Amino acid sequence: MGCYDCCMRCLGGVPYCSLVATLLCFSGIALFCGCGHQALTETERIIETYFARNLQDYITLAYIIQYFQYVIYGLASFFFLYCIVLLAEGFYTTSAAKQTFGEFRSTMCGRCLSSSFIVMTYVLAVLWLLVFALSALPVYFFYNMDATCHTIDVLTETPASINQLCVDARQYGLLPWNAVPGKACGMTLSNVCKTREYQMTYNLYIAAFAGAGITLLALLTYTVSTTYNFAVLRYLGRKGIGARC
């Protein structure tokens, strides 16, 4: 076998669908976890500086943010390992399909693992769909805040109307109802929107939302890939070349 034939045979055994899904998953999780972690830190700073004067008013929010940051660490580690396992499973099944009549043998253990990956990936995709929806909430909050600030900038010639335009963090459940001041109005709100912390936090939440969407796409791609892999292994088993383990 020549060098060209050997290279083509190796390239034919690459699970391109799983490889693309792995790259999407890595990039999506990196965006979601990295940007989400920093955005939560900046959110705590904004709430502490502009919406709450007493530590007791936002101490619960600070604990929740810290808890979610620990969850982000776990998600990053879990998805890194799970994507590597799914990519290895893709290589395993692709080799089985390409070498159906060679020395390779599709085992009952391999078919059981493939069916398990289908169920796990499907469940993860459904759960991540919920995460994707929840990651839109902070984007919605900052979008409303940005729209209010834009309205204030347009109405700068009428101060009386400006002072009636507010963003109340208590309405979004970020602070308790007895928090003081709990809201920012008029030019104070406009100045908040012009700060570097606000602009960076808004962009970080958008990036985290995009990362969640990319991860969801990767999980859906994995679902299709693992389903196809399972079908391949079942086909090999019916052809009578499967070995028990």
Digit-coded pLDDT (tens) for 170-193: 888 888 888 888 898 888 898 999
- Cis peptide, bond prior to residue 181, ω within 30 of zero: yes
pTM of the model: 0.84
pLDDT per position as a tens digit, 151-174 = 888 887 666 678 888 899 888 888
Residue 102: pLDDT band with limits 50, 70, 90: very low
Name which residue leads in pLDDT, 18 or 93.
Answer: 18
Rounded Cα–Cα distance for residues 188 and 182 (Å): 13
Scanning the chain, the segments in alpha helix (DSSP H) are 3-12, 16-46, 55-98, 108-134, 136-154, 159-162, 186-193, 196-238
Residue 213: pLDDT band with limits 50, 70, 90: very high
For the chain, the distance separating the N- and C-terminal CA atoms, rounded to the nearest angstrom, is: 32
Query: In this prediction, what percent of the chain has a pLDDT beyond 70?
Result: 79
Rounded Cα–Cα distance for residues 69 and 128 (Å): 17
Rounded Cα–Cα distance for residues 25 and 220 (Å): 10
pLDDT per position as a tens digit, 22-39 = 999 999 999 999 999 999
CB-neighbour burial class of residue 59 (10 A; exposed 0-12, middle 13-18, buried 19+): exposed
pLDDT per position as a tens digit, 44-86 = 999 988 888 888 888 888 999 999 999 999 999 999 999 898 8
Residue 116: pLDDT band with limits 50, 70, 90: confident
The full DSSP string for 98-133 is: HTTTSS---BHHHHHHHHHHHHHHHHHHHHHHHHHH
> Which residue type sits at 235?
Y
